[in-house]
Amino acid sequence: MPEGHTIHRIAKDHSPLLTGRPVAVSSPQGRFAADAALVDGQTLERIEAYGKHLFYWWSSGRVGHVHLGLFGKYRVHRGPGAVAPQGEVRMRLRTDLATIDLAGPTDCAIGTPDDRDAIVARLGPDPLRRDAKPAEALQRMARSKQPIGALLLDQKVMAGVGNAYRAEVLFVNAIHPLRPAADLSDAEREAVWATVVAMLRKGVKDNRIITIDRKEFPVPKGAPRRGDGTYVYFRDTCLRCGTPTGRLTLAGRDCYYCPACQPG
């Protein structure tokens, strides 16, 4: 599932191609056809990213919502020419600059600002947003006896953190994934938030997950593979000390950690 940096990067990259101009909205697959008709031909005012959610604000006042989930993916075709759909395209957005196809999302719907607000109300602060309130995330961590490795995947605590960043944030701060969140010191919880912010911002800039310090280790060139730019995530051994990485199932996902660098 894409993490928060990917969603913010999508909003950033797609906005110049879609916003401020009429958009032809359709559903080649057919499953989104009724909703597409509600906004077809309207002007898209802005694309908003919040955690792992995208919101499309239309000139009529309607708001579209997309959650990519595990299998959702966008395909961008630049230029005004017609492009044949590839695969099962749920939503097609077409302007004079590009055609953007969406396939396989968990959710894709047209609603209202109230619908958008209801979704956001269920989420914790998004570390990538200027309006984020870190105190809310810190307070939720301070009150929870759950393992910090599980809590970081709870979108009600912090919106946008996924499996890779969870592992890397805890590694960088030498925190064992099983430590109860409430047992962390205030300084440790603040460091977790600050590290999440820094890593997600870097992810938006790089358009990939690179959490290692380039001064400490070189980033491999060529096509990125999982584990190339991380200390412990998706690695057999810790990049820093060479100890075999451990794995714990937390919040239904494998959480990677280094037994030596993150003692329990």
- Catalytic residues, which ones? 2-3, 52, 253
Query: CA 206, CA 177: separation in Å to the nearest integer?
Result: 26
**HEC letters along 153-203:** CCCCCCCCCCHHHHHHHHHHCCCCCCCEHHHCCHHHHHHHHHHHHHHHHHH
Only one residue has tokens 């599980």, namely 150
Cβ proximity of 161 and 199 under 8 Å: no
| Cα separation values, 26 from 8, 17, 93, 195, Å | 23, 17, 7, 40
Query: How many of the other CB atoms lie within 10 Å of CB of 108?
Result: 22
Across 51-119, the runs of DSSP E, i.e. the strands, are 53-58, 63-67, 73-78, 89-94, 98-103, 107-111
| Cα separation values, 207 from 5, 71, 77, Å | 8, 18, 18
**113 CB-side CA count, 13 A:** 5
Cβ proximity of 238 and 245 under 8 Å: yes
